[in-house]
Amino acid sequence: MKTINDSNKRQPRRLPEGVEIGQQFLLRFDDPRVEAGAYQSRLHQMSRDGLLCFDAPGDFRPKQGTPVTIQSLKSHKKSCAFSSEIRGRGRLGGHLPVLLVKSPPRAAAYRRDTYRVNVCLRGKLGWRENPQVAPVEADAVLTNISGGGAQLYTRCRPSSEWVDVTLEAPQSFVEAQARRHLPRGGVPIKSLSLTRNPVAEAAEKVRAQFTHLRARAVAVALRSRDERGPVYSVSLSFRDKQEGCFQLVRYLERQALRRCVRGDEQAAASPTAMAAAA
């Protein structure tokens, strides 16, 4: 393990634009062999050979060359994101464990419509063969999503370039978003009646954001085939930027972080971990 001396404050290489020492980042690993799918970290410095040093749990050891996606969090300035790879591990000042990440030539400005997360959401894909016939609708499973598009699997190949997609947002997300539409002090008793429920109405408005989203099928490919028939992979580009999808992406991202934190806390409290610490 490489020991990094941080006593010299001079940085021999420049940080990518938009990246600053002390900034908080989300490190996301799509490789299933990496136990921690995502975790929050701070950038401590750039080493003299140009590697970015992110603090990391002491037992977290992704292999050299493991791909990682890095996105800034809660920055007052313009957010940024970039893809890179793990170059190894080290210790700052001989104490703080860090991951050494290859510095990119530049960090792209973080765009609300392009950042994607992996999901597994049920949905529907619809299109018209021609204007004179009824629309065709097929079940679908969305596998990733952003504010600007999505990827899904379906058993019916769409015959039209333009399609409508509907997705089932997680109930926990719907409830969280619905609460944001309600008055801070709660719903007044006089607003509740047998014919009107503000809470249910707010939830329906949230669900409506994910219904019949107009999109262009930019790529359709045969993914696999089984006893039930073919499975097609469809890449979609939304006609309009979808704020609701972006909010869902951010929600799922926060949920992934919470799961990682809970997993770390449970591991630290386990008898094995306590015995090792003793």
Same domain (yes/no): 243, 137: yes
> 26 and 86, same structural domain?
yes
Same domain flag for 146 and 34: no
Find, among 2, 22, 14, the residue nearest to 93 by Cα: 2
124 and 229 both lie in a single domain: yes
Residue after which a domain boundary falls, among 82, 109, 136: 109
Cβ atoms of 162 and 261 within 8 Å: the answer is no
Q: Are residues 49 and 140 in the same domain?
A: no
Residues 76 and 153 grouped into a single domain: no
| Residue where a domain terminates, one of 59, 78, 109 | 109
Which residues share a beta bridge with 241? none
Residues 156 and 248 in one domain: yes
Whether residues 72 and 133 share a domain: the answer is: no
In this prediction, residue 211 carries a pLDDT of 95
The predicted pLDDT at position 273 comes to 40
Same domain (yes/no): 245, 224: yes
CATH number where 148 lies:
2.40.10.220
Residue 204 lies in a domain: no
In a domain, 198, yes or no: no
**For the chain (length 278 residues), average pLDDT per consecutive 10?**
57 73 85 74 90 90 88 65 89 89 73 68 92 89 89 94 95 89 59 65 92 93 92 92 87 74 52 39
What is the residue range of 56's domain?
Answer: 2-8+15-109
Rounded distance between C-alpha atoms, residue 111 and residue 72, angstroms: 12
pTM, two decimals, is: 0.55
What is the total residue count of the chain?
278
Residues 132, 245, single domain; the answer is yes
Q: What pLDDT does 277 receive?
A: 33
For the record, the structure tokens of 131 come out as 């204007």
- Per the structure, how many domains does the chain have? 2
Q: 27 and 47 share a domain?
A: yes
